[in-house]
Amino acid sequence: MPKDAEEHRKDAAYKQAKREGYRARSAFKLQDIQNRYNIFKRAYYILDLGSAPGSWLQIAKKYAELNLTRYFDKYYHRDHYKIMGVDTKKLSPLEGIKIIKMDFTTPEFLIEVSKYFEEEKLDLILSDASINKSGNKFSDQARQTKLCFNILELTKFLKFKGNFVIKIFQGVDFENFYTKMKRSFMVVKSLKPKSSNKKSNEIYLIGLKKK
């Protein structure tokens, strides 16, 4: 077993994820974000980008199901939820979730989103998507930021006051992306979840209340 894989299996968060039935330790990153910013409040229509292996979809489903009864009032509410996950890697099925194996930067994906959600606006878009790292910190950061700009274009599917979470790498291009994101959301916060690798330059931006 490669050294990195062996260390990963010894990781406390990895072991906890397995105990709790999550597909990966990354579930706790999303849970940390939820605990801080309540991004799942009244979220029924959810899109998850870069879904493999599916732990964020598991968290999304948990909250979408809770919302069906938690917010049964005179305000915004649905009697059903729709969740779509997409990745270029194959994902094992999750009951009640639409999973697509394709590149979400293609025009064909836009058609899939419109069709599945029946042209309705989304409550929440999540992205834990990442480039395949080369090991060159500077080029990887630039490539990840370019991907993030492509993902930001997909927020056109978000409803007014919808929420957005995206993973980006800290570096020279970070401020440009952060500034552009602020133009689209009333509030933008940054967070490095407790369960993130301390050595990693990944950070999450949370866009609250789309303009």
Token duo for residue 164 = 């957005």
Residue by residue, DSSP assigns the chain as --HHHHHHHH-HHHHHHHHTT-SSTTHHHHHHHHHHH-TTTT--EEEEES-TT-HHHHHHHHHHHHHHHHT-SSSS--SS-EEEEEESS-----TT-EEEES-TTSHHHHHHHHHHTTTPPEEEEEE-------S-HHHHHHHHHHHHHHHHHGGGGEEEEEEEEEEEE-STTHHHHHHHHHHHEEEEEEE--TTS-TT--EEEEEEEEE-
Residue 200's pLDDT is what? Answer: 84
Is the per-residue pLDDT at 1 higher than 70?
A: no
Task: Give me the number of domains the chain comprises.
Answer: 1
Residue 2's pLDDT is what? Answer: 42
- Pick the more confident residue, 162 or 10: 162
**What is the mean predicted confidence (pLDDT) over 61-80?**
93
Task: Tell me the whole-structure pTM to 2 decimals.
Answer: 0.92
| Closest alpha carbon to 153 in 186, 177, 119, 137 | 177
Residue 135's pLDDT is what? Answer: 87
User: From the CA atom positions of the chain, what is the Rg in Å?
Assistant: 17
Does the annotation count 167 as an active-site position?
yes
Conformation bin of residue 201: beta by default, left when phi > 0, alpha when psi is -120 to 50: alpha
| Closest alpha carbon to 170 in 194, 150, 144 | 144
Select which of 29, 61, 167, 210 is catalytic.
167
Residue 25's pLDDT is what? Answer: 86
CATH number at residue 54: 3.40.50.150
Is the per-residue pLDDT at 83 higher than 80?
A: yes
> pLDDT over 70 for what percent of the chain?
91
Is the per-residue pLDDT at 196 higher than 90?
A: no
Residue 3's pLDDT is what? Answer: 41
Residue 14's pLDDT is what? Answer: 64
Structural domain of 48:
3-210
Please list the residues that pair with 124 across neighbouring strands. Answer: 46, 163
Separation CA 103–CA 19 (nearest Å): 32
